[in-house]
């Protein structure tokens, strides 16, 4: 995402799809940022279904779907809509959790699914689906490592579930140690405990 945003021109538009409170600060790009979500938590966002976007064809030079596609009900339609509103030669950035990872399993257990309706297990297949639907050429794929931020007590609007007691109530110090332990296990034994997506 941070490779794409600064390269856009002021005359470009970038779609922050499934933005909620915003996937990035508007200052990260000279382009005009349009944020879309079913239930946005930021001013000026467009309330819309990602499977039926209220924009003309070829409107956006870039689309950012940062941890949003796991939440959409009709993924094939959403990908087609992304392709429809993307300009020819435009860029697409997608980050999703890997449903096979410990981190995603913890998230789903604590949040009783957490709204994740698409369990992504094959990054190569998802990349092919995105490229086919949007016309954007595949450029790169990266592994995302967890910081366990979804467990941090500062991110809870209401009282956290009793299950959070297993994670010391989401205290920052514990989460740092837990993350460090997971990364150490991965480095020593070739596991994937600290992988998120």
Task: Please tell me the distance from the alpha carbon of residue 177 to that of residue 107, in angstroms, as a whole number.
Answer: 18
Q: Would you say domain 5-97+115-134 falls under CATH 3.40.190.80?
A: no
Q: What ranges do the domains of the chain cover?
A: 5-97+115-134, 149-189
Provide the whole-model pTM.
0.89
Tens digit of each residue's pLDDT, the chain (197 residues): 889 999 999 999 999 999 878 899 999 999 999 999 998 787 789 999 999 999 999 999 999 999 999 999 999 999 999 999 999 999 999 999 999 999 888 888 887 767 788 999 999 999 999 999 999 999 989 998 988 888 888 777 776 677 788 888 888 899 999 999 999 999 999 999 999 98
Cβ contact 97:70 at 8 Å: yes
Q: Which of 5, 50, 58, 46 is nearest to 29 (CA)?
A: 5
Cβ contact 136:130 at 8 Å: yes
């Amino acid at each position: 995402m941070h490779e794409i945003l600064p390269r856009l021109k002021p005359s470009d538009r970038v779609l922050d799809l499934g933005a909620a409170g915003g996937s990035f600060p508007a200052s990260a790009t000279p382009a005009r940022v349009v944020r879309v979500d079913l239930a946005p938590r930021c001013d000026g966002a467009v309330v819309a279904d990602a499977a039926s976007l209220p924009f003309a064809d070829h409107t956006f030079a870039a689309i950012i779907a940062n941890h949003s596609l796991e939440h959409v009900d009709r993924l094939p339609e959403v990908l087609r809509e992304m392709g429809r509103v993307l300009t020819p030669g435009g860029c697409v950035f997608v980050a999703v959790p890997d449903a096979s990872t410990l981190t995603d399993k913890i998230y789903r257990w604590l949040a009783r699914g957490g709204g994740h309706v698409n369990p992504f297990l094959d990054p190569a297949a998802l990349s092919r689906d995105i490229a086919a639907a949007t016309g954007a050429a595949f450029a790169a794929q990266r592994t995302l490592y967890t910081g366990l931020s979804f467990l941090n007590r500062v991110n809870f609007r209401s009282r956290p579930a009793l299950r959070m007691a297993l994670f010391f109530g989401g205290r920052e110090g514990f989460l740092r140690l837990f993350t460090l332990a997971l990364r150490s296990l991965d480095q020593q034994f070739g596991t994937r405990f600290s992988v998120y997506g």
